[in-house]
Amino acid sequence: MQPAHEIAAAVREGSISPVEVLDAALARIDAVEPEVRAWVQVDRDGARRRAEELAAARDRGELLGPLAGVPVGVKDIVDVTSFPTRAGAPLFAHYNPANDSAVAARLRHAGAIILGKTHTTEFAYLDPAPTRNPWNRSHTPGGSSSGSAAAVGSGMLPLAIGSQTVGSILRPAGYCGAVGFKPSLGRISYAGTLNLAASFDHLGPICTCVADAALALSALAGHDPADPHSVDAPVEDYLAAIAEPRAPRLGVPRAYYRGVADAEMEAHIEDIIQRFELSGAQVIEVAMPGTAPEISEACQPIMRVEAAVAHSERYAAHKDEYRANIKALIEAGLATDSDAYARAREFVRTLRQAMSERLDTVDALILPTAPGTAPASLETTGPGIFCGPASFTGLPAISLPSGIAPSGLPLSIQLIGPQLGESKLLTTAAWAESVLNFHAHPPL
């Protein structure tokens, strides 16, 4: 399927109808969904009514929004009034939202067609969804935004909404050969979306290219008093920002990921760095304030306590119905004392300051998205360890597909940018994307 920015432009100028775009998406879903299992529910009738409304508005000469006619999937922890919110959980957690979430309302306002709800792990944690990796159906698609990443990676959609508390946008996007973009904490309102750990929870797009990430952010960003973490900062013209990308200055924290990334991934990152340098980038060694395991462990008390708070009433009534991983997280949170939580919060403040200092000297940090390719198991979602620093600090990060391993699975890199520096990060990512020139598709 065409990228979202091309679809929207064609719909606005009248060279393609939103109904034709929808038909193409539905045909692709019919062809590959039985193998991939990305969707909880597809609303064919509702999507068609919306496509016809947009087509009629275009015929009347009305101005359509930046996502005009773009079919979008929404992760099933995000409230959309035309669908129940199920959260990948048993029936006790299902409900019918009375109002759209902030992100769903912005999608509609921008002219998108919300096609359906995509699978998530249970309560957006580690217990897997039924989704399969489109590159190899015996491998995990990652989580927790499993369905959103697999739907985009398999060509069913150009754009889907995911959420990330640690690595749940970047990692599944990387595993499925898509672009995953997590903006700064609070850049996209989280109102109307189920929390896992409120101070780490982000929303962002999974898409086919950097231009689509820029377009999506332009449509979805903005201050929202209903979200306590929402930032009141100007929404820039992100598409204009990526129009003339220049070779960046990149910081590489080798000591942070060395020994945690597998040998194939370490060699791949070194190859990518060489390619970037040959194309004009400056790459310097930087030091992270700790190794990947150290940083991850130091922040776990926040995850545990905030998950226990988010689930307090529900868990008290339905403890035995929770699956193993989310149950263990909540139990650990209930057993965590306030001093451990306070120490973790102080560590996060120190981590954010240290990373911001490093980002004062470079345009972005470059590191792997994940330690390796998608694991050959459907009982795991893979380790999100390398995505933690950006999530814990609220810094923007993007995952780009960067190659194909001998196994036939996608490889990916991660770029981390400065706080509220989405324009700079997207510009760097657009340059990197042009050098990587990744155009592979899964063998579906």
Q: Domain ranges for the chain, please list them.
A: 4-246+366-436
Strand order, beta sheet including 249-252: 39-42, 113-118, 71-75, 159-164, 202-207, 179-182, 397-404, 410-416, 364-368, 249-252, 282-285
Residue 165 and residue 202: Cα distance in Å, rounded? 6
- What element of type H or E holds 313? helix 312-318
CATH architecture classification, 4-246+366-436:
Alpha-Beta Complex (3.90)
Whether 144 is catalytic: yes
The low-confidence residues of the chain, meaning pLDDT below 70, are none
pLDDT computed for residue 428 by the predictor: 98
Q: Which tokens belong to 83?
A: 């669908």
- For tokens 């393609």, what's the residue? 16
Residue 176 and residue 438: Cα distance in Å, rounded? 13
DSSP state of 127: S
Question: Three-state SS for 203?
Answer: strand
- For tokens 């910081």, what's the residue? 251
My answer on whether omega of the bond before 279 falls inside 30° of 0, hence cis, is no
* Catalytic one of 101, 144, 189, 423: 144
**Do the beta carbons of residue 418 and residue 412 sit within 8 Å?**
no
Residue 211 and residue 151: Cα distance in Å, rounded? 18
* Catalytic one of 17, 154, 168, 412: 168
Sequence length of the chain is: 444
Give how far Cα 21 sits from Cα of 88, 158, 212, Å: 28, 11, 16
For 98, phi then psi, to 5°, come to -80, -20
Classify the C-alpha dihedral 293-299-301-302 as positive or negative: negative
pTM above 0.75, yes or no: yes
Residue 366 and residue 177: Cα distance in Å, rounded? 18
Residue 53 C-alpha from the chain's centroid:
29
The pLDDT tens digits of the residues spanning 342-353 come to: 999 999 999 999
Q: Rounded to 5 degrees, what angle do the CA atoms 138, 140, 141 make?
A: 120
The 3-state DSSP composition of the chain as helix, strand, coil percent (nearest 5) reads 45, 15, 40
Residue 2 and residue 16: Cα distance in Å, rounded? 12
pLDDT computed for residue 397 by the predictor: 99
pLDDT computed for residue 159 by the predictor: 99
pLDDT computed for residue 444 by the predictor: 86
**Do the beta carbons of residue 260 and residue 292 sit within 8 Å?**
yes
DSSP state of 385: G
